[in-house]
Structures are given as C-alpha cells and as structure tokens.
Amino acid sequence: MTLCGLLLCPIWSIYLTCEQLTQPASVTVQPGQRLTITCQVSYSVSGYYTAWIRQPAGKGLEWIGSRFTGYYSESVKGRFTISRDNSRQQVYLQMNSLKTEDSAVYYCARETQ
C-alpha cells in the first residue's frame, strides 16, 4: 500500500521523496500500548535519511522526526523512536505509550541529498 500520495508529495517535493509504506490499511491499539510501523523502501537506508510525518484527521501535516538529525517533535519526544535495518531496506517507527491524539495517517519519506 502506498500511503504517500498526491497530498504529501507536492508539498514536500523539494526536500522529500515519497516511498512505499508497507502496513495494513488500519491498525487499532489501546491508549498506553505500543506499535511499530515498518516502511519498506527502494533505496539504501544507510545512504539516505528517512523522515516520518503524520496527519491527524482534519488537521495539517506534523513532522515526527528524522533518524539522521535525532530530532523528534515535542509531542512524541521520549515515546517514539526511529530505527532502520540496512539489510532489509526498512525503516521503523516505534511508538510507545500511545495516546488518543496519536491517531493519524503516518507517512515515511526519503529526504533528498
């Protein structure tokens, strides 16, 4: 499933390249639980930086973070972690202590160099 679509690409096209997010269409978890989202990419994850972005229903895009910079949005700092597996060409977003306000569509995107 490709979640990164027309809405995201034109806005971030100068800085980001959209990638395929391999994940079920919808995942439901209870507050306080954890979830890991996997982004399967077509590039070398050691050669490019991958960012995570989300969009809550009816709201704008929110930058979650980037593994390269180590920057995380204040709303997820200390709860979310970005990691990668070079051999599998996968980037992960591990979300702990989930809150109802974490409900959103999640996107992964490759930062251009």
The domain ranges of the chain are 8-22+31-111
For residue 108, the SS3 value is strand
pLDDT at 100 over 60: yes
Confidence of residue 4 (pLDDT cuts 50, 70, 90): very low
Q: How does the average pLDDT of the chain come out, rounded?
A: 78
Q: How far apart are CA 39 and CA 89, in angstroms?
A: 8
Confidence of residue 22 (pLDDT cuts 50, 70, 90): low
Strands 49-55, 62-66: parallel, antiparallel or unpaired by DSSP? antiparallel
Q: Which CATH class is domain 8-22+31-111?
A: mainly beta
* N- to C-terminal Cα separation, the chain: 25
pLDDT at 35 over 90: yes
The pTM of this model reads 0.76
CA 95 to chain CA centroid, nearest Å: 10
Count of other CB atoms within 10 angstroms of residue 36: 12
